[in-house]
Structure 1
Amino acid sequence: MTEIESLTALAQHLSGGKSLANVILQGLELQAQGEALLRSDLTGTVFLGCHLDPRTLQTVIERGAMVFPPFSGLPYSPYRGALYTPEELYAGFDPAHPESYADTPDARVYAHWNSRGGAHPPSILETLAQRLHDHAITDALEEVLVHQGQPRRVVAIMGGHSMLRGQPDYRAVAALARALARLGFFLVSGGGPGAMEATHVGVWFAGRSDAELDAALEVLARAPGYKHPEWLARAFEVRATWPLLDAHRELSDSLGIPTWLYGHEPPNPFATRIAKYFANSVREEGLLTIAKGGVVYSPGSAGTVQEVFQDACQNHYNTVGVISPMIFLGRDFWTTTRPVYPLLAHLAQGHEYARHLLLTDSQEEIIQALVRFNQELDARRVAG
């Protein structure tokens, strides 16, 4: 079915003489479009959270349309038609007054989520609104994963939220992400601080020099962790000092996938697209599922280890149709500090994904492995 998610798209659709039969209209203010709507065939038309005047609402239902009514009193739209951007989530934030974050849409949604029971809201209407919102985010996400008619080469970088700006690991992740973006990979992360932020910082600077990246990292290091009161302000200082140039926007496009379950961690301001979920389970599984081009694991703790074995399960049983690389950055960390790799290598024995495991300290080895795998994946897609 055709989906229409803006008034501009609706006007273009109708001006071309097309019918609205079996068309989905999502999250639109349609009080002024009543006459135009009623001139069209509405058989099988679906209105998701659209605002209609009372006469039009009654008529479209009588003529066979399905109407999902809008919710009232929510600081978010359950029927949104696009992913978030940092500009939307951080609207109203003033870097000179870090406390102004509390007045941003992101903070207001988190406050609402907490006030309604957090992960266990007692209201069935609240849970319904959250599920519809997350469904809408997934729908918008699927559209982003296709670029110019072709699937993107999606690579995820995982790692700990407590990785501090200024640490060598943070610099290494940023450098790796920048190198991969320059090769045409679409980088995704869990959309939060630490290693996740480093991923998007690297992509943000894909069109800039080493000296510019190093200078930006020095600015960020003045507020090392997300609990520092100036953590977000320093990020916005970097964004303002080294803004995305029009020539670099496609090169520096990246996706963060955070959750309001961890709403105390602000979403990544360097990800150009943000798929923020209420349900962390949907977010975690979805993040690993879309990373068909491979997953790189930088140092992390329990959350990263959980992602390792979720990814391993997908590969072990080939549940997503592609067995993709699992690459571990940091030999000592993944064999001694968090000795996950030996267990995973043992688990993978006799399975296809054993040949896609890599333990390394080398950025170049990672790049070579991902390029080789994705070239093979592209060839299989072309062949059939």
Structure 2
Amino acid sequence: MNPEDYRKGPVTLRGTQRPDRTTDQRLLENAGGADWLHADPWRVLRIQAEFVEGFGALAELGPAVSIFGSARTPPGHPHYAAAEEIAAGIVQLGYAVITGGGPGIMEAGNKGAKEAGGVSVGLGIELPFEQGMNQYVDLGVDFRYFFTRKTVFVKYSSGFVVLPGGFGTLDELFEALCLMQTHKIDMFPLILVGRDYWQGMIDWLSSTVLEHEVISPQDLDILRIVDTAEEALQALREVSGKAP
């Protein structure tokens, strides 16, 4: 993964060709005037093309589990090792592994899947940093728009395993929570790995958020928190009917 590369969908840009704004920025900004009348219809076709590309690439993938976590986690870190172990175990359960295709936890998930002989999938995104598909991805799709990428994640995942991460990880986590809470998608395993990292968030949800009556007690049942890779895999075995 070359840090000088800028991935823009299927296109790689370097040097003076690197843009100063992402495609999402240009879509969401409101610069005034009526230019959107001429530009946005073409953007709709590009968005449609991203859905077609993503759906076409993963249509025959079969059951898969997505692994999320920080792009900043280095090899050798306990979270990196846990992601590798979980990914290998997911493959042994008969699932493909999907990640965001980047470094850190994503790389660990793809590495664990590939070295276990499974299908290693990466769904990349155009960003001004942390960009490029890691070397362990066998099937990779690069997206310009976060919302098309998140749709593909949800559509082709039978479960989410979430390791410690930042805003991007939290975004994926709460997207899945919201979709299940509102019955937009069927319930699937949503496993948080690392009690020391996640317990504070769970405590806040079960006290402050619940006490304000903006969620229901059963909404918290969607989440399952574990400490180890083996506990995460055992949770997946239970819901897949493959528990010993």
TM-score range, shorter chain: 0.7 to 0.9
Instruction: Give the residue type in structure 1 aligned to 2:229.
Output: Q
Question: In structure 2, what is the Cα distance between the partners aligned to 1:140 and 1:342?
Answer: 40
Give the Cα separation in 2 of the matches to 1:103 and 1:307: 21
Cα separation, 2, equivalents of 1:160 and 1:312: 19
Q: Is the 8 A contact 1:260 1:276 kept in 2?
A: yes
| Contact kept in structure 2, 1:316 and 1:348, CA below 8 Å | no
Aligned to 1:369: 235
Give the conservation status (yes or no) of the 8 Å contact 1:155–1:185. yes
The answer as to whether partners of 2:7 and 2:131 remain within 8 angstroms in 1 is no
* Alignment partners' CA distance in 2, 1:348 and 1:155: 27
User: Which residue of structure 2 lines up, in the alignment, with residue 185 of structure 1?
Assistant: 95
- What SS does structure 2 have at the residue aligned with 1:276? strand
Out of 142, 152, 158, which is 2:55 matched to?
142
Of the candidates 297, 306, 312, which is equivalent to residue 177 of structure 2? 312
CA RMSD of aligned residues (A): 3.3
Please, what TM-score do these two structures have when normalized by structure 1?
Answer: 0.51
**1:359 positional shift:** 0.8
After TM superposition, the structure 1 = structure 2 runs for residues 96-175 of structure 1, keeping only pairs within 5 Å, are 101=5, 106-108=11-13, 114=19, 118=23, 119-120=25-26, 131-147=44-60, 152-175=62-85
Aligned to 2:142: 276
Letter in 2 for 1:287: F
- Counterpart pick for 2:114 among 204, 220, 224: 204
**Aligned partners of 1:112, 1:159: CA distance in 2, in Å?**
30
Residues 160, 300 of structure 1: 8 Å contact kept: yes
The residue number in structure 2 matching 1:328 is: 192
| One-letter amino acid of the structure 1 residue matched with residue 26 of structure 2 | H
Task: State the 4+ residue runs in structure 1 displaced beyond 6 angstroms.
Answer: 102-105
Bigger strand share: 2
**Per-residue deviation, 1:183:** 1.9
SS across alignment from 2:102 = coil
Match of 2:203 among 342, 358, 362: 342
Q: Secondary structure at the match of 2:13?
A: helix
The answer to whether the 8 Å contact 1:261/1:279 transfers is no
**How many residues end up aligned between the 2 structures?**
226
TM-aligned CA distance change 1:103 to 1:196, over 3 Å = closer
How far off its partner does 1:138 sit? 2.1
Rounded Cα–Cα distance in structure 2 between residues aligned with 1:99 and 1:368: 37
CA contact (8 A) 2:67 2:109 kept: yes
Q: Structure 2: how far apart are the matches of 1:259 and 1:110?
A: 19
Q: Distance in 2 between matches of 1:375 and 1:188?
A: 21
Contact between 1:189 and 1:199, CA under 8 Å: does it hold in 2? yes
Give the whole-Å Cα distance in 2 for the aligned partners of 1:132 and 1:254: 29
Q: Which runs of 5+ in 1 are unaligned?
A: 1-89, 91-97, 208-250, 377-384
The answer (yes or no) to whether the contact 1:259–1:276 under 8 Å persists in 2 is yes
Opposite residue 349 of structure 1, the aligned amino acid is P
Task: Tell me the amino acid that sits aligned with residue 72 of structure 2.
Answer: S
User: 1:165, CA displacement in angstroms?
Assistant: 1.6
Check whether the contact 1:159–1:297 (CA below 8 A) recurs between aligned residues: yes
CA-CA distance at 1:300 after TM superposition = 0.6
1:346-380 per-residue CA deviation (whole Å, 9 max, x = no partner) reads: 545234x71x421111222222222332349xxxx
| The one of 257, 280, 303 aligned to 2:168 | 303
Structure 2: tracts of 5 or more residues without a match: none
Note the C-alpha offset of 1:275. 2.0
Structure 1 position 317, deviation (Å): 0.8
Tell me the distance in 1 between the aligned counterparts of 2:3 and 2:201.
Answer: 40
Higher-Rg member (1/2):
1
Q: SS at the partner of 2:191?
A: strand
Q: Which has the higher contact order (CA 8 A, sep 6+)?
A: 2
Residues of 2 paired with 1:158 and 1:167: CA distance? 15
